[in-house]
Structures are given as structure tokens and as C-alpha cells.
Amino acid sequence: MKLGLQVSRFSWPDAPASMGATWRDVARNAEGAGFSSLWVMDHFFQISMVGPPEMDMLEGYTTLAHAAAVTERIELGTLVTGVTYRHPGLLLKTVTTLDVLSGGRAWLGIGAAWNEEEHRGLGVPYPSTRERFALLEDTLRLAHRMFADDDRPFEGDAVSLERPLNRPQPVRRPPIMVGGGGERRTLRLVAQYADACNLFDTGLGPEGIPHKLDVLRRHCEDVGREYDEISKTCLASLTLDAGAPLPEGVVGHSVDEAVERLGRLGAAGIDHVILSMANIIDPRAHDAVAEVVRQLP
């Protein structure tokens, strides 16, 4: 099993002046602890599940580029980019640039988008669900073309490109992760186009993840895809007790408790758990993660 770290809060002490240095330390500590991947949300306003929209939120790809410059091994991605935020061709050029400058460490994390508030606030068109999924499928098809140096004209249901030129090419074709557990459309797109799915640990219950993976398996059978080719990832909220006070309402967990929970997720079919931790700016929390990583095998 691999462990990733997702960062969803940037309202750190002494922000905004401190944010560059704090983010640098988080990225380096995450790599040093043994996290295999580092993820940021691709939002422009804070989302309601975390806090009010006025909370600090950094633009995702600029933030990942900064992390790429201060790390050497950890892989980098958004969890996940809303397909409406950037024109598909420009999004794929951006991900390719991140991959090239990081030495082949970029992921394309993508989904159909949902946060209407930030779309309306910043003047970004927010089409219907049907139109967003059509755009998502076009973008996934286009990613396979542009990451393979195929610049022939592209004609999709939602977008057309005369010449999707993408030079330089990625150092490594960025793995594609489609976020969400929608059984009819999202998991079908995973089966057709993606290298990884991303589910939520919270709210699914002990039977939820195996059920979603069974649905994915059936979609793979329908489209002639090998189920085992797809990485099964999930986002889990889990804060390790580092001996320091935690934010109100957050429960700290021991290393043993964390390893046991990760074991249950592994038994359910998950091979890459992405943790959301409330104390990521505390270096002692990363020391605890290093012990979890040591025990994972």
C-alpha cells in the first residue's frame, strides 16, 4: 500500500506572509516521512466541508510547482481538478509542464466539478451535469492523445481542437485519476480512460468501498479493461497524535490505530490511501507517519 497526503487547509499562522515557507516545509517533511504522493484540492474558494469560502485557498498548479522545486521524489497531483476550470488543452499543457519540471512526477487528477459557488463568484461558466460529463470525457480522450504526442485535429462532443500540440512531451505519461464514486458515469469513465479511481473512506461504511469496486470491476468487464490495471485510491481523514494540542473536534490516533485502519482499507481493495491530516505543519506528525510507513508491509 502507498500513502499520500492531501492538503486542504492553508490558513496557517502568520499567513499569507508565511505560506511559502510553511508549504515548503510541509512538502519536504511529507517526502521525508515516506509519503509517496502529495495532493492539493483544485479549488479557488475554500469548500463548505472544510470551512467558509473566505478561508485561504492557493491555486493548485502553482502550489504543486512550488512543491516540485523543493522536493525530489514525491509525486504531485490535484485531488481533483474540476474539468470546467481550465480549457482542456491548456489544462493538459499545464500538467505536462509540471511533469517535465518535476522530472516525471505529475498526476492528472480530474473530475466533473461541483462547486457552483466559486464558478459564479469568479465568472467561470457552470454548465449542466450532462454538459460537464461530456467535457470530462472529451478531456480524458484528449489526454491520451496529447500525452502521446498526437496533434491531429480533435473533435469531441464538447470541445474541438485544430492542433493539440503538446511539446515538450511529459517525462512520464502522467497517470490519470478520476475522482468520485458515481456508479453509472464516473466509474465507467475510470474503466475506459483512467489509471486510478478515487473514493471517499468517510461515509461509505465497511461495505461501501467493496461495493464501489465491484461496480468498477463490472464496468471494466463491459469495456474490455483489465481491472487490476487500475489503482484503487481513497481519501481518508486521519490525524496522527503527535503530542501537541489538536484543533477542536479533531481526534488524534496512535500509530497502531492508523496501521489497523489502513489494513482494513487494504482488505477492502484499496492500494493507495491519501490522508487528510489536521496537523500537517507539525513536524512531529510526519515523524509518526514515518513509523506508519515502516509498519505498512
- Residue pLDDT, tens place only, 32-60: 999 999 999 999 999 999 999 999 999 99
Is the pLDDT confidence value at 274 over 90?
Answer: yes
Mean pLDDT for 203-228 is: 91
Please give the pLDDT value at position 221.
Answer: 98
Is the pLDDT confidence value at 7 over 70?
Answer: yes
> Among 29, 176, 168, 165, which residue's Cα sits nearest to residue 106?
176
Please give the pLDDT value at position 201.
Answer: 83
Please give the pLDDT value at position 205.
Answer: 64
Is the pLDDT confidence value at 292 over 80?
Answer: yes
Paired with 231 in beta bridges are: 196
Sign for the pseudo-dihedral over CA of 71, 229, 133, 100: positive
206 confidence band (pLDDT: 50, 70, 90) = low
Please give the residue that has the higher pLDDT: either 250 or 175: 175
Is the pLDDT confidence value at 173 over 90?
Answer: yes
Is the pLDDT confidence value at 72 over 90?
Answer: yes
DSSP sequence for 113-181: ---HHHHHHHT-----HHHHHHHHHHHHHHHHHHTTT--S-EE-SS-EES-----SPPSSPPPEEEE--
The rounded distance, in Å, linking the Cα atoms of 174 and 144 is 10
Other CB atoms within 10 Å distance of the CB of residue 63: 23
